[in-house]
Structure 1
C-alpha cells in the first residue's frame, strides 16, 4: 500500500532564477493568499497567478484544488515565515484541521509563479482520546499490521486528523509476502474475500457498495474509502471500515448490529493498492471534519502473547483471542 498525502502538489511553475526571497513582497503575497483563501475568493487567487501558472491551473482547476483543500483542512488560522530556499519562501500554516507548509515563488512583477501546499510532518501530533466503546478485533485468523501506531514512521495516517489512529491490516505468509503466485490478481492475496466483522455493537450510519475492486497496484483516489461501512456506537464514536469487496456489504443504513456480526468481506476498492482492511475510530461521521480516537482492543493475541486493552503497531502479527 502506498501512502497518499492529504494535500498534494498544486503546481510548480518555479522560475529558473538565482534570485533570493524579498521578504516584504513575499509576506504580503502570503497574507493576501490567506485572506482570499479564507474568503473563498478563488477567482482573485487565480488573477494573482503569473501567466504560466494560469495556463497550468485554469480557473476551474484552481477552484477545485482550493475547494478540496478547504473541505479537508478548513481555513487558515495562522501563517508565519519559516525559511527560504533560493527563490522559494516557505511558510508554516496552521489550518483548522492540520498543519501545512506553503511554498511560494513570486515572479518579478509580484505575481505567484509557483505554489505548493503540503502537510507539515514536523508539527507535533495532537493527543488522541482513547475509545470508550469496547472493541473486538473485526477479523478472523492472524493478520499483520501494515500501518499502525502513533508515529509517522509506524503509521502514515497520523497526519490526517480523522485517521490519526488508523490501522491497515493484511495477511502475510511464511515468506512475509501478502500474496501467492505473482500477485497480479486480487484472488492472489490472502486477505481478499476474508470475512469482515463488526468490531462493536452499533448502528450502521453509512453503507456503500458497488465500487469496483482495483487491479493490484492501481488505486482509485476519487473514492478513497471505496466500499465502506461506518458504525455509530452508543457512546457517539464512529467505527470506519473501508475497502470492502464489491458486492459483499451485508448491512444497510439504520440497521443495528452486534459485535462479531458479519458486515461483508475484505476487498481492494477505493484508495487501495492491494486487498486489506483499513479501520479507524473517529468522533463524528464526517471524515473531513472528524478527529481520530485511539483504538484499544479489549483482548488480542500479539506475536503469540495475549494482551489486554492493547493498540497494535506496525509489524505486529495479531489475532482475536
Structure 2
C-alpha cells in the first residue's frame, strides 16, 4: 500500500510512518512470527499477524515489533528506542485501548493490510491502527491515528464548468480517485475532497526494476498538460525531486502550478520535476499545452501527478470541487463526461 502524496500530512498527528513504496532496497529479515501456511488464506494470515502485532505493541513489547519492521521502517524510525517512545506517545495521548469495534484484512497493490478500529480510554472518537505487510510478513507500514471521516462538502452536486481534458497523454492509472475513503484517501480533506493521483503502469507495476531510482518510474519525466484554457496564477519551481524513501513535508505540493479556469474554478497540479516548468505566473495556456514534467518533488513517496479542483486560487484554502473530465477512455470504454475512479486505466480519447 502506498500513500502517494500527503498534502494533508499535518493531519497525521500520530503517524509513525507512511507505508513505503513497494520494491525499496535493503536487507530483509527472514524470520516471521507467523510463517505462512498453505492451508491458511491470505485474509486469515493477515488478521492473525495484525492482531499479534497490535497486541505486542499495546503490551509495550516494542523490541519484538522492531524485529518485524522492514528496512525502510527501521530507517524511518531510527532506533528501537524511538519505537518505544512512540508507544509512550500513543499512551499519553490516547490512554489504553478499551474495545475493538471493527477489523479488516485486505490486499492493496500487492501489500497485505490489517486495519483495526477501536475505542481508547482518553479519546472520544474511534482510533484506527493499520499494519501493512510484505510477502515475508515484514512490516512495511504502520500508523495509529483518529479514524478518518469523509469531509463534509456542500459541493457534492457541483458540475464542473470548465471543459476538462485529462492532463496527460497516453494511458495512466488512477491510483486514488473517487468520493469514498476506500477509493480516495484525499476525501477526508475539505480542500482536496475530489482530488486524484495518477501514475503510469507497465505490466501492472508503476516502475521497472526494484523502484529504487526515480528514473525507474514509468511516469517520471512525462509531459503534464493543461487540462483546459486557463491563466497561470501561481508557480513553484526549483524544489528538488525527493529520492525514493524520502519526502518533503515542509513543501507538500512540491513544484506545482495553480491555474485559473474561470468561473471560480482553480486547478492544482503538483509534484513536477525540478526546473521542468514551462510556464510563469500570468501566462495564458490552452488545453493540452505542456506545463512541465512529472516528478517527485514535495511530500510524495514516488513520482506521480496530483490533480484537484478548488474554489480558491490559494493552495490550502477554500473547498474542493468535483472534477468531471470529458472525452476519455476508461478501462477500454469511451466516457463522454465523468469522474475517473481508483484503479481505472484512463487515457484521452482520439489521441
- Normalization by structure 1: what TM-score? 0.66
Could you list the per-position Cα deviations for residues 212-259 of structure 1 after superposition, in whole angstroms to 9, with x for gaps in the alignment? 001123211110000000100121210100000001000000111111
Could you list the per-position Cα deviations for residues 81-127 of structure 1 after superposition, in whole angstroms to 9, with x for gaps in the alignment? xx9733x14169xxxxxxx99xxxxxxxxxxxxxxx96652466424
Q: Which residue of 85, 107, 121 maps to 2:120?
A: 85
| Distance in 2 of aligned mates of 1:153 and 1:123 | 10
Match of 2:181 in 1: 152
**Within 5 Å, which residues of 2 pair with 1:1-321?**
1-2=2-3, 4=6, 5-9=9-13, 85-86=120-121, 88-90=122-124, 121-122=148-149, 125-126=152-153, 127-128=155-156, 129-174=158-203, 176-321=204-349
Could you list the per-position Cα deviations for residues 103-156 of structure 1 after superposition, in whole angstroms to 9, with x for gaps in the alignment? xxxxxxxxxxxxxx9665246642432311110111011000000000000100
Structure 1 residues 160 and 226: CA distance shift in structure 2, 3 A: same
Which segment is superposed worse, 238-247 or 118-127?
Answer: 118-127
- Report the Cα offset of residue 7 of structure 1: 1.5
SS, match of residue 207 in structure 1: strand
Verify the 8 A CA contact 2:160 2:323 in the aligned structure 1. yes
Verify the 8 A CA contact 2:186 2:192 in the aligned structure 1. yes
Structure 2: 5+ residue runs without aligned partners? Answer: 16-87, 93-117, 129-143
User: CA RMSD of the aligned region, Å?
Assistant: 2.7
Which segment is superposed worse, 311-320 or 180-189?
Answer: 180-189
Structure 1 residues 286 and 124: CA distance shift in structure 2, 3 A: closer
| Distance in 2 of aligned mates of 1:190 and 1:89 | 43
| Distance in 1 of aligned mates of 2:338 and 2:216 | 31
- Report the Cα offset of residue 206 of structure 1: 0.7
Could you list the per-position Cα deviations for residues 46-93 of structure 1 after superposition, in whole angstroms to 9, with x for gaps in the alignment? xxxxxx99xx9xxxxxxxxxxxxxxxxxxxxxxxxxx9733x14169x
Structure 1 residues 265 and 124: CA distance shift in structure 2, 3 A: closer
- Report the Cα offset of residue 303 of structure 1: 0.5
- Report the Cα offset of residue 170 of structure 1: 0.4
Verify the 8 A CA contact 2:211 2:217 in the aligned structure 1. yes
Verify the 8 A CA contact 1:245 1:268 in the aligned structure 2. yes
SS, match of residue 275 in structure 2: coil
- Normalization by structure 2: what TM-score? 0.61
Verify the 8 A CA contact 1:225 1:271 in the aligned structure 2. yes
Verify the 8 A CA contact 2:151 2:193 in the aligned structure 1. no
Verify the 8 A CA contact 1:131 1:294 in the aligned structure 2. yes
- Report the Cα offset of residue 162 of structure 1: 1.0
Match of 2:85 in 1: none
- Report the Cα offset of residue 184 of structure 1: 1.1
| Distance in 1 of aligned mates of 2:12 and 2:184 | 19
SS, match of residue 186 in structure 2: helix
SS, match of residue 280 in structure 2: coil
Verify the 8 A CA contact 1:192 1:267 in the aligned structure 2. yes
- Report the Cα offset of residue 6 of structure 1: 4.2
| Distance in 1 of aligned mates of 2:328 and 2:291 | 20
